[in-house]
Amino acid sequence: MSAAVVLAEAIRAALTGHASLADGLAGVFDAPPPRAATPHAVIGEALLTDWGTKDMAGREARVVVALHDAGESPARVRRLSGEVEVAMAVLPRVIGGGWELASRVLLRARIERKGEGRWVATSEWRLRMLKSGT
């Protein structure tokens, strides 16, 4: 399996497996859904670059997790954004397909108002991974 597929599945499992986050979300999607209740999360496509060594395949991924919400204040999406950080912090080292995480770093996070009563919280992550057995 490709690094992008394995990583997206691992992130989805981490978000849906984190009880306080999963209970607060209407869903976790791989692409913006045409119609979905709020709040919901969207895992963006990973931007992958080579991060290999002489004897191991490796990738550096940049991934954005976006939380979409509706309401008068960003209080709920702010709380859920914190839960995304907790869920991502406990991603397992071994994520499948021979891929293992070497590091995960939150690069930036922000909350923006997107029109009347619409909020989007984004967190961008740098995940470095190596593939064993290559």
CATH of residue 77's domain is: 3.30.2000.30
Token readout for 46 is 């990973």
Residues 6+ apart with CB under 8 A from 87: 14, 15, 17, 18, 21
Strands (E), the chain: 28-29, 40-43, 47-50, 57-70, 94-96, 99-113, 118-131
pLDDT band at 35 (very low <50, low <70, confident <90, very high): confident
pLDDT band at 134 (very low <50, low <70, confident <90, very high): low
Residue 21 belongs to domain spanning: 3-131
Mean local confidence (pLDDT), 78-102? 96
pTM passes above 0.85? yes
User: How many whole angstroms separate alpha carbon 93 and alpha carbon 104?
Assistant: 10
- The total number of structural domains in the chain stands at 1
